[in-house]
Structure 1
Amino acid sequence: MTRTKTRRLRGTLILVPVGFLMGLLVWPIFEVILASLEDSAFSLDEAVRHYWTHPLYRTVVLNTLKIGLLTTTVTLFFAYPLAFLLVESSRYRRLLLVWIVLASMWLSVQIRSYSWIVLLQRTGPISKLLRAVGIVDADTSFLFSTEAVTVGMVHVLLPFAIMVIWSVSARNATKAKGLAMSLGANDFFYLLRVYAPSVTGAVLAAGLLVFLMSIGFYITPELLGGGRGDTMMMATLIDQQVNQLGDWGSGASLALILAVAVVTILVLGTWVLRKLGVVANAAKHIGD
Protein backbone atom coordinates (compact mmCIF):
# COMPACT_ATOMS: atom_id res chain seq x y z
CA MET A 1 0.00 0.00 0.00
CA THR A 2 1.41 3.38 -1.04
CA ARG A 3 1.90 6.26 1.36
CA THR A 4 -0.92 8.24 -0.28
CA LYS A 5 -3.40 5.40 0.15
CA THR A 6 -2.28 4.94 3.73
CA ARG A 7 -2.94 8.61 4.46
CA ARG A 8 -6.37 8.43 2.81
CA LEU A 9 -7.28 5.34 4.81
CA ARG A 10 -6.07 6.98 8.02
CA GLY A 11 -8.05 10.11 7.23
CA THR A 12 -11.18 8.06 6.55
CA LEU A 13 -10.82 6.10 9.78
CA ILE A 14 -10.44 9.35 11.71
CA LEU A 15 -13.19 11.19 9.86
CA VAL A 16 -15.92 8.64 10.62
CA PRO A 17 -15.75 8.74 14.47
CA VAL A 18 -15.05 12.49 14.47
CA GLY A 19 -18.08 13.11 12.27
CA PHE A 20 -20.20 10.87 14.49
CA LEU A 21 -19.11 12.72 17.65
CA MET A 22 -19.61 16.11 16.01
CA GLY A 23 -23.12 15.06 15.06
CA LEU A 24 -23.88 14.02 18.62
CA LEU A 25 -22.46 17.23 20.07
CA VAL A 26 -23.15 19.93 17.50
CA TRP A 27 -26.63 18.96 16.36
CA PRO A 28 -28.30 19.09 19.83
CA ILE A 29 -26.59 22.42 20.55
CA PHE A 30 -27.80 23.73 17.18
CA GLU A 31 -31.34 22.67 18.05
CA VAL A 32 -31.09 24.43 21.42
CA ILE A 33 -29.94 27.61 19.70
CA LEU A 34 -32.83 27.45 17.26
CA ALA A 35 -35.32 26.84 20.07
CA SER A 36 -33.94 29.74 22.08
CA LEU A 37 -34.21 32.08 19.09
CA GLU A 38 -37.60 30.93 17.83
CA ASP A 39 -39.57 30.24 21.02
CA SER A 40 -38.12 32.85 23.34
CA ALA A 41 -39.51 36.38 23.55
CA PHE A 42 -35.97 37.73 24.06
CA SER A 43 -32.80 37.82 22.02
CA LEU A 44 -29.74 36.28 23.65
CA ASP A 45 -28.39 39.56 25.05
CA GLU A 46 -31.87 40.56 26.23
CA ALA A 47 -32.31 37.13 27.81
CA VAL A 48 -29.03 37.50 29.72
CA ARG A 49 -30.11 40.90 31.06
CA HIS A 50 -33.60 39.63 31.87
CA TYR A 51 -32.41 36.54 33.71
CA TRP A 52 -29.74 38.48 35.62
CA THR A 53 -32.12 41.21 36.77
CA HIS A 54 -34.84 38.73 37.76
CA PRO A 55 -34.37 37.79 41.46
CA LEU A 56 -35.04 34.07 40.95
CA TYR A 57 -32.71 33.62 38.00
CA ARG A 58 -29.97 35.73 39.59
CA THR A 59 -30.21 33.64 42.77
CA VAL A 60 -29.97 30.41 40.76
CA VAL A 61 -26.88 31.65 38.90
CA LEU A 62 -25.21 32.65 42.16
CA ASN A 63 -26.19 29.30 43.73
CA THR A 64 -24.63 27.48 40.78
CA LEU A 65 -21.37 29.42 41.03
CA LYS A 66 -21.25 29.12 44.83
CA ILE A 67 -21.88 25.38 44.91
CA GLY A 68 -19.50 24.84 41.99
CA LEU A 69 -16.67 26.73 43.70
CA LEU A 70 -17.34 25.06 47.05
CA THR A 71 -17.40 21.62 45.45
CA THR A 72 -14.18 22.34 43.56
CA THR A 73 -12.38 23.53 46.71
CA VAL A 74 -13.42 20.55 48.84
CA THR A 75 -12.69 18.10 46.02
CA LEU A 76 -9.15 19.42 45.52
CA PHE A 77 -8.61 19.45 49.30
CA PHE A 78 -9.12 15.67 49.39
CA ALA A 79 -7.80 14.81 45.91
CA TYR A 80 -4.34 16.30 46.49
CA PRO A 81 -3.27 14.08 49.44
CA LEU A 82 -5.00 11.03 47.98
CA ALA A 83 -3.10 11.45 44.70
CA PHE A 84 0.12 11.80 46.71
CA LEU A 85 -0.78 8.60 48.57
CA LEU A 86 -1.14 6.81 45.22
CA VAL A 87 2.28 8.04 44.13
CA GLU A 88 4.00 6.98 47.35
CA SER A 89 2.27 3.60 47.75
CA SER A 90 3.79 0.29 46.80
CA ARG A 91 2.79 -1.35 43.55
CA TYR A 92 0.10 -3.66 44.96
CA ARG A 93 -1.31 -1.08 47.36
CA ARG A 94 -1.44 1.43 44.50
CA LEU A 95 -3.30 -1.09 42.34
CA LEU A 96 -5.83 -1.64 45.12
CA LEU A 97 -6.32 2.10 45.63
CA VAL A 98 -6.74 2.70 41.90
CA TRP A 99 -9.39 0.00 41.71
CA ILE A 100 -11.23 1.59 44.64
CA VAL A 101 -11.15 4.98 42.93
CA LEU A 102 -12.30 3.52 39.61
CA ALA A 103 -15.06 1.50 41.27
CA SER A 104 -16.39 4.69 42.84
CA MET A 105 -16.26 6.39 39.45
CA TRP A 106 -18.16 3.57 37.73
CA LEU A 107 -20.95 3.48 40.31
CA SER A 108 -24.13 5.23 39.21
CA VAL A 109 -24.49 8.87 40.27
CA GLN A 110 -28.09 8.20 41.23
CA ILE A 111 -27.11 5.30 43.48
CA ARG A 112 -24.47 7.40 45.22
CA SER A 113 -26.94 10.23 45.73
CA TYR A 114 -29.54 7.89 47.23
CA SER A 115 -26.85 6.47 49.50
CA TRP A 116 -26.17 9.94 50.88
CA ILE A 117 -29.91 10.41 51.45
CA VAL A 118 -29.82 7.36 53.71
CA LEU A 119 -26.72 8.60 55.53
CA LEU A 120 -27.76 12.24 55.97
CA GLN A 121 -31.43 11.93 56.79
CA ARG A 122 -32.65 12.67 60.33
CA THR A 123 -32.69 8.97 61.27
CA GLY A 124 -29.47 8.20 59.41
CA PRO A 125 -26.23 7.05 61.05
CA ILE A 126 -24.44 10.40 60.64
CA SER A 127 -27.25 12.35 62.34
CA LYS A 128 -27.48 9.73 65.12
CA LEU A 129 -23.72 9.91 65.73
CA LEU A 130 -23.70 13.71 65.90
CA ARG A 131 -26.72 13.71 68.24
CA ALA A 132 -25.03 11.13 70.45
CA VAL A 133 -21.99 13.36 70.96
CA GLY A 134 -24.15 16.46 71.43
CA ILE A 135 -23.14 18.36 68.28
CA VAL A 136 -26.68 18.63 66.83
CA ASP A 137 -30.17 18.40 68.29
CA ALA A 138 -32.87 15.86 67.51
CA ASP A 139 -34.57 18.00 64.85
CA THR A 140 -31.45 18.59 62.75
CA SER A 141 -31.39 17.12 59.26
CA PHE A 142 -28.59 17.64 56.77
CA LEU A 143 -30.74 16.90 53.75
CA PHE A 144 -31.93 19.70 51.44
CA SER A 145 -28.98 21.90 52.29
CA THR A 146 -25.96 23.27 50.47
CA GLU A 147 -23.71 21.07 52.58
CA ALA A 148 -25.57 17.90 51.54
CA VAL A 149 -25.38 18.85 47.86
CA THR A 150 -21.68 19.62 48.18
CA VAL A 151 -20.94 16.30 49.88
CA GLY A 152 -22.78 14.36 47.21
CA MET A 153 -21.09 16.22 44.35
CA VAL A 154 -17.64 15.83 45.91
CA HIS A 155 -18.25 12.09 46.13
CA VAL A 156 -19.03 11.98 42.42
CA LEU A 157 -16.22 14.26 41.22
CA LEU A 158 -13.40 13.24 43.57
CA PRO A 159 -12.23 10.26 41.44
CA PHE A 160 -11.84 12.50 38.39
CA ALA A 161 -9.66 14.96 40.29
CA ILE A 162 -7.56 12.17 41.81
CA MET A 163 -6.88 10.57 38.44
CA VAL A 164 -5.93 13.89 36.80
CA ILE A 165 -3.46 14.82 39.54
CA TRP A 166 -2.05 11.32 39.89
CA SER A 167 -1.57 10.81 36.14
CA VAL A 168 0.65 13.89 36.00
CA SER A 169 2.56 13.37 39.24
CA ALA A 170 3.16 9.62 38.87
CA ARG A 171 5.41 9.93 35.80
CA ASN A 172 8.47 11.52 37.34
CA ALA A 173 7.68 11.29 41.05
CA THR A 174 9.99 8.38 41.83
CA LYS A 175 12.90 9.84 39.88
CA ALA A 176 12.39 13.30 41.40
CA LYS A 177 12.21 11.92 44.93
CA GLY A 178 15.33 9.84 44.47
CA LEU A 179 17.17 12.88 43.13
CA ALA A 180 15.97 15.08 46.00
CA MET A 181 16.90 12.52 48.65
CA SER A 182 20.36 12.03 47.13
CA LEU A 183 20.92 15.78 47.52
CA GLY A 184 20.05 15.65 51.23
CA ALA A 185 16.36 16.59 51.18
CA ASN A 186 14.02 15.15 53.81
CA ASP A 187 10.42 14.09 53.23
CA PHE A 188 8.96 17.46 54.21
CA PHE A 189 11.33 19.37 51.92
CA TYR A 190 10.54 16.99 49.05
CA LEU A 191 6.79 17.41 49.55
CA LEU A 192 6.98 21.19 49.84
CA ARG A 193 9.69 22.13 47.32
CA VAL A 194 9.66 19.31 44.77
CA TYR A 195 6.32 17.51 44.67
CA ALA A 196 3.99 20.48 45.27
CA PRO A 197 5.38 22.72 42.48
CA SER A 198 5.42 19.82 40.03
CA VAL A 199 1.68 19.13 40.43
CA THR A 200 0.42 22.72 40.66
CA GLY A 201 -0.63 22.69 37.02
CA ALA A 202 -2.35 19.33 37.43
CA VAL A 203 -4.25 20.64 40.45
CA LEU A 204 -5.42 23.66 38.44
CA ALA A 205 -6.45 21.40 35.54
CA ALA A 206 -8.35 19.12 37.91
CA GLY A 207 -10.03 22.15 39.47
CA LEU A 208 -11.11 23.40 36.05
CA LEU A 209 -12.53 19.98 35.16
CA VAL A 210 -14.39 19.63 38.47
CA PHE A 211 -15.84 23.14 38.29
CA LEU A 212 -17.09 22.74 34.72
CA MET A 213 -18.71 19.41 35.59
CA SER A 214 -20.21 20.68 38.84
CA ILE A 215 -22.05 23.71 37.40
CA GLY A 216 -24.00 21.40 35.10
CA PHE A 217 -25.07 18.88 37.76
CA TYR A 218 -28.73 17.92 37.98
CA ILE A 219 -29.38 14.60 39.75
CA THR A 220 -27.37 15.19 42.94
CA PRO A 221 -28.65 18.73 43.67
CA GLU A 222 -32.19 17.59 42.90
CA LEU A 223 -32.07 14.59 45.24
CA LEU A 224 -29.96 15.99 48.08
CA GLY A 225 -31.03 19.61 47.82
CA GLY A 226 -34.65 19.26 46.81
CA GLY A 227 -34.20 21.56 43.83
CA ARG A 228 -35.31 24.68 45.65
CA GLY A 229 -34.02 27.58 47.73
CA ASP A 230 -30.27 27.80 48.19
CA THR A 231 -29.71 24.46 46.46
CA MET A 232 -31.44 25.19 43.14
CA MET A 233 -28.93 25.17 40.29
CA MET A 234 -29.14 26.00 36.59
CA ALA A 235 -29.86 22.46 35.45
CA THR A 236 -32.78 22.16 37.88
CA LEU A 237 -34.21 25.49 36.73
CA ILE A 238 -33.93 24.44 33.08
CA ASP A 239 -35.76 21.20 33.86
CA GLN A 240 -38.54 23.10 35.62
CA GLN A 241 -38.94 25.53 32.74
CA VAL A 242 -39.25 22.74 30.18
CA ASN A 243 -40.96 19.85 31.96
CA GLN A 244 -43.12 21.62 34.56
CA LEU A 245 -43.95 24.94 32.91
CA GLY A 246 -43.64 23.89 29.28
CA ASP A 247 -41.66 27.04 28.48
CA TRP A 248 -39.25 25.64 25.91
CA GLY A 249 -38.00 29.07 24.90
CA SER A 250 -36.87 30.05 28.39
CA GLY A 251 -35.42 26.60 29.02
CA ALA A 252 -33.48 26.69 25.75
CA SER A 253 -32.23 30.23 26.46
CA LEU A 254 -31.02 29.19 29.92
CA ALA A 255 -29.36 26.09 28.47
CA LEU A 256 -27.64 28.21 25.83
CA ILE A 257 -26.42 30.70 28.44
CA LEU A 258 -25.05 27.83 30.54
CA ALA A 259 -23.34 26.30 27.48
CA VAL A 260 -21.77 29.64 26.52
CA ALA A 261 -20.56 30.11 30.10
CA VAL A 262 -19.00 26.64 30.15
CA VAL A 263 -17.24 27.15 26.82
CA THR A 264 -15.98 30.58 27.91
CA ILE A 265 -14.61 29.24 31.20
CA LEU A 266 -13.04 26.29 29.35
CA VAL A 267 -11.31 28.56 26.82
CA LEU A 268 -10.05 30.96 29.49
CA GLY A 269 -8.97 28.11 31.76
CA THR A 270 -7.12 26.38 28.92
CA TRP A 271 -5.39 29.66 28.05
CA VAL A 272 -4.25 30.08 31.66
CA LEU A 273 -3.02 26.49 31.82
CA ARG A 274 -1.18 26.94 28.52
CA LYS A 275 0.51 30.06 29.90
CA LEU A 276 1.58 28.00 32.90
CA GLY A 277 2.94 25.30 30.60
CA VAL A 278 0.49 22.62 31.71
CA VAL A 279 -0.89 21.92 28.24
CA ALA A 280 2.55 21.83 26.69
CA ASN A 281 3.86 19.47 29.36
CA ALA A 282 0.87 17.17 28.95
CA ALA A 283 1.40 17.08 25.18
CA LYS A 284 5.11 16.37 25.73
CA HIS A 285 4.31 13.46 28.07
CA ILE A 286 1.85 12.04 25.55
CA GLY A 287 4.45 12.36 22.81
CA ASP A 288 7.04 10.60 24.92
Structure 2
Amino acid sequence: MKTRDDIPTVTLVGAGPGDPELLTIKAVKALRRASLALVDDLVHPDVLRHLRRGARVVHVGKRGGCPSTPQAFIHRLMVAEAQRGERVVRIKGGDPFVFGRGGEECEALRAAGIAVEVISGLTAGIAAPAAIGIPVTDRRWTRGVALVTGHAGTEEGEPDWAALARSGLTLVIYMGVARLPAITAALRAAGLAGDKPAAVVCHAHTPAQRQAVCTLDSLVETVAREGLASPAIVVIGDVVQAAPAWGGVAVAALDSVRAAPAHYGTTPGRSSAWASTS
Protein backbone atom coordinates (compact mmCIF):
# COMPACT_ATOMS: atom_id res chain seq x y z
CA MET A 1 0.00 0.00 0.00
CA LYS A 2 1.39 3.37 -0.99
CA THR A 3 1.89 5.98 1.67
CA ARG A 4 1.66 9.71 1.06
CA ASP A 5 5.46 9.86 0.86
CA ASP A 6 5.42 7.31 -1.99
CA ILE A 7 3.20 9.46 -4.21
CA PRO A 8 5.07 11.95 -6.44
CA THR A 9 4.10 15.40 -5.22
CA VAL A 10 4.88 19.00 -6.12
CA THR A 11 4.14 21.82 -3.70
CA LEU A 12 3.34 25.27 -5.10
CA VAL A 13 4.44 27.85 -2.54
CA GLY A 14 3.42 31.50 -2.53
CA ALA A 15 6.36 33.53 -1.23
CA GLY A 16 4.48 36.79 -0.75
CA PRO A 17 5.19 40.26 -2.15
CA GLY A 18 8.83 40.83 -1.22
CA ASP A 19 9.61 40.84 2.48
CA PRO A 20 10.71 37.30 3.42
CA GLU A 21 9.11 37.77 6.85
CA LEU A 22 5.72 37.70 5.11
CA LEU A 23 6.24 34.03 4.26
CA THR A 24 3.68 31.79 5.99
CA ILE A 25 4.65 29.18 8.57
CA LYS A 26 3.25 26.46 6.32
CA ALA A 27 5.42 27.69 3.45
CA VAL A 28 8.53 27.56 5.65
CA LYS A 29 7.74 23.95 6.61
CA ALA A 30 7.37 23.00 2.95
CA LEU A 31 10.71 24.59 2.08
CA ARG A 32 12.44 22.69 4.87
CA ARG A 33 11.18 19.39 3.46
CA ALA A 34 12.13 20.11 -0.16
CA SER A 35 15.02 18.55 -2.03
CA LEU A 36 14.52 20.71 -5.14
CA ALA A 37 13.25 24.28 -5.45
CA LEU A 38 12.13 25.80 -8.75
CA VAL A 39 12.20 29.53 -8.09
CA ASP A 40 10.55 32.49 -9.80
CA ASP A 41 12.41 35.71 -10.51
CA LEU A 42 10.74 37.96 -7.93
CA VAL A 43 11.25 35.69 -4.91
CA HIS A 44 13.43 37.35 -2.25
CA PRO A 45 16.79 35.52 -1.89
CA ASP A 46 16.32 35.21 1.88
CA VAL A 47 13.32 32.94 1.29
CA LEU A 48 15.76 30.29 0.07
CA ARG A 49 17.51 30.26 3.46
CA HIS A 50 14.66 28.07 4.70
CA LEU A 51 15.69 25.27 2.34
CA ARG A 52 17.52 22.39 3.94
CA ARG A 53 21.24 22.00 3.34
CA GLY A 54 21.92 20.24 0.06
CA ALA A 55 18.64 21.16 -1.59
CA ARG A 56 19.03 22.06 -5.26
CA VAL A 57 17.81 25.42 -6.55
CA VAL A 58 16.81 26.05 -10.17
CA HIS A 59 15.79 29.56 -11.22
CA VAL A 60 12.96 29.54 -13.74
CA GLY A 61 11.95 33.19 -13.62
CA LYS A 62 9.83 35.28 -15.95
CA ARG A 63 10.11 39.06 -16.35
CA GLY A 64 8.39 41.24 -18.91
CA GLY A 65 10.73 42.24 -21.72
CA CYS A 66 13.46 39.84 -20.55
CA PRO A 67 14.46 36.33 -21.60
CA SER A 68 12.19 33.91 -19.74
CA THR A 69 11.99 30.20 -19.08
CA PRO A 70 9.29 28.69 -21.34
CA GLN A 71 6.26 27.57 -19.36
CA ALA A 72 6.16 24.20 -21.12
CA PHE A 73 9.74 23.54 -19.99
CA ILE A 74 8.79 24.30 -16.38
CA HIS A 75 5.92 21.80 -16.63
CA ARG A 76 8.20 19.07 -17.98
CA LEU A 77 10.86 19.77 -15.36
CA MET A 78 8.40 19.56 -12.46
CA VAL A 79 6.94 16.31 -13.73
CA ALA A 80 10.32 14.68 -14.42
CA GLU A 81 11.84 15.65 -11.07
CA ALA A 82 8.78 14.56 -9.10
CA GLN A 83 8.76 11.21 -10.90
CA ARG A 84 12.44 10.79 -9.98
CA GLY A 85 11.46 11.03 -6.34
CA GLU A 86 12.50 14.62 -5.64
CA ARG A 87 10.48 16.62 -3.14
CA VAL A 88 9.77 19.54 -5.42
CA VAL A 89 8.66 22.99 -4.30
CA ARG A 90 7.70 25.54 -6.92
CA ILE A 91 8.29 28.93 -5.27
CA LYS A 92 6.36 31.84 -6.70
CA GLY A 93 6.20 35.49 -5.76
CA GLY A 94 2.90 36.58 -4.27
CA ASP A 95 0.22 33.89 -4.52
CA PRO A 96 0.48 30.99 -6.99
CA PHE A 97 -3.11 31.46 -8.15
CA VAL A 98 -3.04 35.24 -8.74
CA PHE A 99 -1.37 35.88 -12.11
CA GLY A 100 1.15 33.20 -11.21
CA ARG A 101 0.18 30.46 -13.68
CA GLY A 102 -0.47 28.20 -10.72
CA GLY A 103 -3.63 26.82 -12.29
CA GLU A 104 -1.79 25.87 -15.47
CA GLU A 105 0.95 24.15 -13.50
CA CYS A 106 -1.54 22.20 -11.37
CA GLU A 107 -3.32 21.01 -14.50
CA ALA A 108 -0.07 19.85 -16.12
CA LEU A 109 1.04 18.03 -12.98
CA ARG A 110 -2.26 16.26 -12.38
CA ALA A 111 -2.42 15.20 -16.01
CA ALA A 112 0.92 13.45 -15.44
CA GLY A 113 -0.32 11.73 -12.28
CA ILE A 114 1.54 14.05 -9.91
CA ALA A 115 -0.17 15.14 -6.71
CA VAL A 116 -0.21 18.88 -6.01
CA GLU A 117 -0.29 20.86 -2.79
CA VAL A 118 -0.89 24.61 -2.99
CA ILE A 119 0.28 26.91 -0.19
CA SER A 120 -1.20 30.36 -0.61
CA GLY A 121 0.89 33.50 -0.33
CA LEU A 122 0.12 37.16 0.23
CA THR A 123 -0.51 38.66 -3.20
CA ALA A 124 1.07 41.99 -4.11
CA GLY A 125 -2.28 43.39 -5.19
CA ILE A 126 -3.38 43.45 -1.56
CA ALA A 127 -0.01 43.86 0.17
CA ALA A 128 1.43 46.68 -1.94
CA PRO A 129 -1.48 49.08 -1.35
CA ALA A 130 -1.47 48.14 2.35
CA ALA A 131 2.23 49.04 2.51
CA ILE A 132 1.29 52.70 1.96
CA GLY A 133 -1.93 52.68 3.96
CA ILE A 134 -4.44 51.92 1.20
CA PRO A 135 -7.17 49.33 1.86
CA VAL A 136 -8.44 47.85 -1.39
CA THR A 137 -11.96 47.84 0.03
CA ASP A 138 -13.50 50.39 2.36
CA ARG A 139 -17.24 50.73 2.88
CA ARG A 140 -16.99 54.51 2.60
CA TRP A 141 -15.85 54.26 -1.01
CA THR A 142 -16.30 50.79 -2.47
CA ARG A 143 -17.39 47.29 -1.57
CA GLY A 144 -15.33 45.46 -4.12
CA VAL A 145 -12.00 45.17 -5.86
CA ALA A 146 -10.95 43.97 -9.31
CA LEU A 147 -7.51 42.42 -9.73
CA VAL A 148 -6.52 42.71 -13.38
CA THR A 149 -3.41 42.36 -15.50
CA GLY A 150 -2.25 45.31 -17.54
CA HIS A 151 -0.11 43.07 -19.71
CA ALA A 152 -1.54 42.78 -23.22
CA GLY A 153 -0.88 39.30 -24.50
CA THR A 154 -2.56 37.10 -27.06
CA GLU A 155 -3.12 34.42 -24.43
CA GLU A 156 -4.77 36.60 -21.81
CA GLY A 157 -6.59 39.09 -24.02
CA GLU A 158 -7.28 42.72 -23.13
CA PRO A 159 -9.24 43.54 -19.97
CA ASP A 160 -12.59 45.23 -20.56
CA TRP A 161 -11.45 48.65 -19.37
CA ALA A 162 -14.81 50.23 -20.19
CA ALA A 163 -16.67 47.78 -17.95
CA LEU A 164 -14.10 48.22 -15.20
CA ALA A 165 -14.42 52.01 -15.41
CA ARG A 166 -18.17 51.72 -14.86
CA SER A 167 -17.97 49.09 -12.12
CA GLY A 168 -17.24 51.35 -9.16
CA LEU A 169 -14.67 48.78 -7.99
CA THR A 170 -11.15 49.53 -6.84
CA LEU A 171 -8.88 48.66 -9.76
CA VAL A 172 -5.65 46.90 -8.84
CA ILE A 173 -3.47 46.46 -11.89
CA TYR A 174 -0.56 44.02 -12.07
CA MET A 175 2.12 44.31 -14.77
CA GLY A 176 0.66 47.56 -16.05
CA VAL A 177 3.35 50.24 -15.79
CA ALA A 178 4.61 49.84 -19.35
CA ARG A 179 1.08 50.23 -20.72
CA LEU A 180 -0.16 53.02 -18.47
CA PRO A 181 -0.72 55.50 -21.33
CA ALA A 182 -3.05 53.07 -23.10
CA ILE A 183 -4.75 51.96 -19.88
CA THR A 184 -5.43 55.46 -18.58
CA ALA A 185 -6.67 56.56 -22.00
CA ALA A 186 -9.09 53.64 -22.14
CA LEU A 187 -10.42 54.37 -18.65
CA ARG A 188 -10.87 58.07 -19.42
CA ALA A 189 -12.60 57.26 -22.72
CA ALA A 190 -15.02 55.07 -20.77
CA GLY A 191 -15.92 57.98 -18.52
CA LEU A 192 -13.73 57.49 -15.45
CA ALA A 193 -13.04 60.92 -13.95
CA GLY A 194 -9.61 62.41 -14.45
CA ASP A 195 -9.43 63.38 -10.78
CA LYS A 196 -9.98 59.78 -9.65
CA PRO A 197 -7.33 59.01 -6.98
CA ALA A 198 -4.50 56.72 -8.09
CA ALA A 199 -1.32 55.24 -6.65
CA VAL A 200 1.68 53.23 -7.79
CA VAL A 201 3.85 51.08 -5.53
CA CYS A 202 6.98 49.43 -6.93
CA HIS A 203 9.20 46.86 -5.20
CA ALA A 204 6.65 46.67 -2.37
CA HIS A 205 7.83 45.46 1.03
CA THR A 206 11.52 45.64 0.10
CA PRO A 207 14.22 48.22 0.90
CA ALA A 208 13.84 49.45 -2.70
CA GLN A 209 10.15 50.28 -2.25
CA ARG A 210 9.01 53.54 -3.84
CA GLN A 211 5.54 54.90 -4.38
CA ALA A 212 3.52 57.82 -5.68
CA VAL A 213 -0.01 59.02 -5.00
CA CYS A 214 -1.69 61.17 -7.65
CA THR A 215 -4.79 61.23 -9.88
CA LEU A 216 -5.73 59.30 -12.99
CA ASP A 217 -4.93 62.27 -15.23
CA SER A 218 -1.46 62.75 -13.72
CA LEU A 219 -0.62 59.06 -13.36
CA VAL A 220 1.50 58.63 -16.50
CA GLU A 221 3.42 61.85 -15.91
CA THR A 222 4.00 61.02 -12.24
CA VAL A 223 5.35 57.54 -12.96
CA ALA A 224 7.73 58.91 -15.60
CA ARG A 225 8.90 61.82 -13.45
CA GLU A 226 9.56 59.69 -10.39
CA GLY A 227 11.19 56.88 -12.36
CA LEU A 228 8.82 54.22 -11.04
CA ALA A 229 9.17 50.89 -12.80
CA SER A 230 8.22 47.23 -12.61
CA PRO A 231 7.60 45.25 -10.56
CA ALA A 232 4.78 47.55 -9.58
CA ILE A 233 1.14 47.62 -8.57
CA VAL A 234 -1.18 50.37 -9.77
CA VAL A 235 -4.27 51.24 -7.72
CA ILE A 236 -7.08 53.38 -9.11
CA GLY A 237 -10.08 54.25 -6.97
CA ASP A 238 -11.43 56.37 -4.15
CA VAL A 239 -9.80 54.12 -1.54
CA VAL A 240 -6.49 55.83 -2.35
CA GLN A 241 -7.81 58.73 -0.27
CA ALA A 242 -7.12 56.58 2.81
CA ALA A 243 -3.37 56.84 2.21
CA PRO A 244 -1.66 59.16 4.71
CA ALA A 245 0.00 60.87 1.73
CA TRP A 246 -3.30 61.88 0.14
CA GLY A 247 -3.74 65.61 0.54
CA GLY A 248 -2.40 68.77 -0.99
CA VAL A 249 1.31 68.12 -0.57
CA ALA A 250 3.36 68.80 -3.71
CA VAL A 251 6.31 66.42 -4.06
CA ALA A 252 7.95 65.54 -0.78
CA ALA A 253 10.30 62.88 0.53
CA LEU A 254 8.59 60.67 3.07
CA ASP A 255 9.46 57.43 4.73
CA SER A 256 7.67 54.38 3.43
CA VAL A 257 4.48 53.61 5.33
CA ARG A 258 3.84 50.11 6.56
CA ALA A 259 0.47 48.76 7.63
CA ALA A 260 0.12 47.88 11.31
CA PRO A 261 -2.87 46.59 13.31
CA ALA A 262 -3.56 49.83 15.16
CA HIS A 263 -1.59 52.53 13.40
CA TYR A 264 0.60 53.39 10.46
CA GLY A 265 4.29 53.79 11.24
CA THR A 266 7.35 54.64 9.22
CA THR A 267 10.24 52.43 8.33
CA PRO A 268 13.55 54.31 8.63
CA GLY A 269 15.81 54.44 5.64
CA ARG A 270 13.22 53.89 2.94
CA SER A 271 12.74 56.73 0.49
CA SER A 272 9.60 57.48 -1.42
CA ALA A 273 8.21 60.13 -3.68
CA TRP A 274 4.68 61.43 -3.37
CA ALA A 275 2.82 63.45 -5.95
CA SER A 276 -0.03 65.74 -5.06
CA THR A 277 -3.49 66.03 -6.51
CA SER A 278 -2.74 69.62 -7.42
Question: If the TM-score is normalised by the length of the shorter chain, which range does it land in?
Answer: under 0.3
Q: Which of structures 1 and 2 has the larger relative contact order (alpha carbons within 8 angstroms, sep 6+)?
A: 1
Which of the two has higher C-alpha Rg? 1
TM-score, normalised via structure 1 length: 0.25
Which protein is richer in strand relative to its size? 2
